[in-house]
Structure 1
């Protein structure tokens, strides 16, 4: 199924991206992350702030889908998306009072939105992610010298970070998060537990620069091992896995670290998942479009 217009494409993808961010923040409990239960390791963030931040990005996400509709990955589109993304980041910071809630998500979701707009939402997640990766491999000639915590971790420890994840076609989305989410659903467990399992799988495999920045490589390795242990014990839906998940959450809060990169890729996974399940009646005035004013869950 292909969108009938660039406007419809932008509206739909903007809605799906905001919905994915809200799904991510409301998933509870998430180790070290903001959720409905606590602020995790983030003293300056709460669920209400995260949801406001997500909603502030609708216009930028819509514009990205509009700009990429029916196009192809090239230098011009890459720089157009970057410009839209920088405007979105400023809207986010204005909404949050300067707190960086979703900078990484703007990067990941923005590229995947563009990939979906280029491919059409009938294409497989791998094709959409590859189109997004092709875009990421173009250089933004107007970008300032990166100074983010993730960039510093990449330079210090030689990990790939968010940029490498995107340039490689989002492997932790299409080869880790999405398969675990779908396999968990086939096991007839709850959607909440399926999403938690997807998050844990990403955490167990990702060199998360948010964790590295605050805790170094030693903390990263401990978190990866403990996330895998939850899955080995049966995942979030098992008694032993649930108890291990609680212990992992407590450990991350005690260490004052948070797997923010994993959270961004969970949101990206949920976005791609929603995209693969959408049908025409979710578009336009027939329902489901966020329109920047009042969010309605799909």
Structure 2
């Protein structure tokens, strides 16, 4: 499937602002200490976003501080070891984005981070999707900051499309065309088996489910005064209702995806967190997912990305 991100990137609404100073002189002058401090800020925010995703409850089928959800091979301790192992990765990929490195460099950083994660978790895949998704957002934030651009969601999305969109599209097409030279992820195998889009396709389009669905719902719930956890649960259910989650295809095929989407849409149609007993409804979904061993891991990765985008908008 060919995705035309080049034409999307040319759209005026997606073009990041560039100051006259940048056009005349290139990167603004920043000390190495200032650049490092910013990259560390972004990395801390990325880790905090992953931790907030972990601690959120109720969260159907997913590992939290309360229980292991549908998983027998991982728990909150596994996630904490994984989180700690990624602390240097987020600094490095933000630095690479700030320097305007090509996607091949970002990809190699991500591969190294996966290896570090798997070593820390004794081979359990806790954050492979998050390494890719949050890593690309950190790189885009670094690129924007290094050029005195806004860290708003539109600017970050435009940067993803303009700076790395073509490379992400090529990467997606190459993955589909080249035989497996390394052990593929369960998500990739599921995407190929069922001909559904995965993380690479989502990234090549500038993460539409993140920017057009999850983040707006998150901000809407926050704006209604219902609090951070309610906003996160609403965003998670929006994601579960809308994305083709390859984790679910791997676990139960199309029937599993349909069950999760049906449950999520019912929760949203009743009003989501605006309903008085929303926690009880979410816990009911959680129990059903555990019974059927369903875990919407792709939605969890994008929820962590939602936390990150929201936090980046407050950085200077």
The TM-score with structure 1 as length reference comes to 0.86
Following superposition, the deviation at residue 226 of structure 1 comes to: 0.9
| CA positional deviation for 1:239 | 3.2
Q: Could you say what secondary structure the match of 1:33 adopts?
A: coil
Counterpart for residue 117 of structure 1 = 142
Q: For this pair of structures, how many residues does the alignment match?
A: 275
1:277 is paired with a residue whose SS is coil
SS at match of 2:171: coil
Tell me if 1:222 matches 2:259.
Answer: yes
In structure 2, the residue matched to 1:129 is 157
Equivalent residue number for residue 197 of structure 2 = 160
Shift of 1:154: 1.2
Q: Unaligned stretches of 5+ in structure 1?
A: 280-298
Question: Are the counterparts in 2 of residues 229 and 244 from structure 1 also a CA contact under 8 Å?
Answer: no
Decide which structure has the larger Cα Rg and report it.
2
Say if 1:231 and 1:241, in contact at 8 Å, map to a contact too.
no
- Distance in 2, matches of 1:198 and 1:3, equals 38
Partner of 2:295: 258
Is 1:191 the counterpart of 2:228? The answer is: yes
- Which residues in structure 2 correspond to 1:1-298 (within 5 Å)? 4=30, 5-71=34-100, 77-120=102-145, 122-133=150-161, 134=165, 135-139=167-171, 144=181, 147-279=184-316
Partner Cα distance (2:206, 2:182) in 1: 23
CA distance in 1, matches of 2:123, 2:215: 32
Asked if 1 retains the 8 angstrom alpha-carbon contact of 2:151 and 2:315, the reply is no
Structure 1 Cα separation of the partners of residues 139 and 227 of structure 2: 31
Alpha-carbon distance, 1:146 to partner: 6.2
Structure 2 equivalent of residue 296 of structure 1: none
